[in-house]
Amino acid sequence: MVDINSAKNNLDAAGFLDLAVDPEIDLFAEIEKLKKEKNAIILAHYYQEPDIQDVADYIGDSLGLAQAAEKTEADIIVFAGVHFMAETAKILNPSKKVLLPDLKAGCSLSDSAPPALFKLFKDKHPDHLVITYINCSAGMKALSDIICTSSNAQKIIESLPADQPIIFAPDRNLGAYINKQTGRNMLLWNGACMVHEIFSLEKITKLKIRHTKAKVIAHPECEAPVLAIADYIGSTTGLLKFTQKDDATEYIVVTETGILHQMQKNNPAKTFIPAPPNNSCACNDCPHMKLNTLEKLYLCMKYELPEIIMDEALRLAAKKPIDRMLEISAKYGL
Ligand code: 13P
Ligand code: SF4
């Protein structure tokens, strides 16, 4: 067993507090107690494991989480999600303590756009506006004009003059989807999400043949051939809302499996089938999102570590395009 001091010393290497947790304790009750004692709020993404979703104060997609982070009056924000999400919460709340259960919970999309490389690309197109998907580092945000999420990307692009040249980064699939929807010709950075690119068109098609009444619902981070067979395309919140108002009883869900927990909870009589990846692994689980566990969440709340710390100049530069996104979203009631 590791003591708290050596665990703190190892935090940089491990990414989380590597301390033993008594298996007898009721983690749900302890986490509730810590929330009250510390005036802490837990914000969780839909891709978190079900236990974490069940202790969260707010569960949402990337836009909803950024809006919740902006509004909260809590002293401590515990972010059950990945690094760029917790970093966004810190950018919006410099005076609050923002905790992330595992600092190594990253994102393949964010990793696909290193700011130094992107800057070289951006400098070659000085007349272009840079619209960047929120799944990116603070360094990338600082190089951007407006941030977007999958919930508001189309509205944000449509709010710009039709002849405005645009660079869209880092997700080439979401960018291509928005190009198709809006008729624009945005320059796309060549990044992708490792989870959403792994779905197998062939296996989804076979599932559709077996489940004739099932509707295919997909996240726009998926590749174009998968999106082409989808009955509905939307952000995680969009997909969830669709299953609530739509009258079908069966859905093939083409996104990370974590969302199925809320879909099933909100629609107990409906059937949700996770779309299969193109191999036999559980690659439709995001390995970054799933680094967070209930134990790590409890330890992080108890010891208030790991914490997101940011350079102030970088924070201010990264905040501007997030503020623009929040303003445009508010204008359109998103
Ligand atoms: P949304 O939360 O905007 O649906 O994006 C999904 C995702 O991949 C988050 O990492
Ligand atoms: Fe990043 Fe994809 Fe995981 Fe979302 S699901 S955090 S985009 S790797």
CATH number of 109-194+316-331: 3.40.50.10800
pLDDT category at 283 given cuts 50, 70, 90 is confident
Q: Is the CB of 62 under 6 A from ligand 1?
A: yes
Asked if the model's pLDDT at residue 288 lies above 60, the reply is: yes
Which of the following CATH numbers is that of domain 4-106+289-309: 3.10.310.10, 3.90.25.10, 3.40.50.10800, 3.50.50.60? 3.40.50.10800
The four Cα atoms 319, 322, 327, 329 give a dihedral, to 10 degrees, of -160
Q: What's the N-to-C CA distance of the chain in angstroms?
A: 47
Mutate to test the pocket of ligand 1, among 110, 135, 148, 263 (most ligand atoms within 8 A of CB): 135
Asked if the model's pLDDT at residue 9 lies above 90, the reply is: no
Q: Is the CB of 88 under 6 A from ligand 1?
A: no
Relative to the alpha carbon of 195, which ligand is closest?
A: 2
Asked if the model's pLDDT at residue 281 lies above 90, the reply is: no
Mean pLDDT of 115-125: 98
CA distances from 9 to 33, 78, 307 (A): 27, 21, 14
Fold of 199-274: Rossmann fold (3.40.50)
Whether the CB-CB separation of 251 and 236 falls below 8 Å is answered with no
Whether the CB-CB separation of 230 and 214 falls below 8 Å is answered with no
Q: Is the CB of 107 under 6 A from ligand 2?
A: yes
pLDDT category at 278 given cuts 50, 70, 90 is confident
Measured from the Cβ of residue 246, the count of other Cβ atoms closer than 10 Å reads 15
Share of the chain above pLDDT 70, in %: 99
Q: Where in the chain is the domain with CATH 3.40.50.10800?
A: 4-106+289-309, 109-194+316-331, 199-274
The Cα 252–Cα 232 span in angstroms is: 11
Q: What is the DSSP letter of 199?
A: B
* 82-101 per-position pLDDT tens digit: 999 999 999 999 999 999 99
* 29-72 per-position pLDDT tens digit: 999 999 999 999 999 999 999 999 999 999 999 999 999 999 99
Residue bearing the CA closest to ligand 1, atom 7: 62
* 212-270 per-position pLDDT tens digit: 999 999 999 999 999 999 999 999 999 999 999 999 999 999 999 999 999 999 999 99
Q: Which residues pair with 128 in a beta bridge?
A: none
Nearest in space to 261 (alpha carbons), one of 227, 289, 298, 222: 289
pLDDT category at 277 given cuts 50, 70, 90 is confident
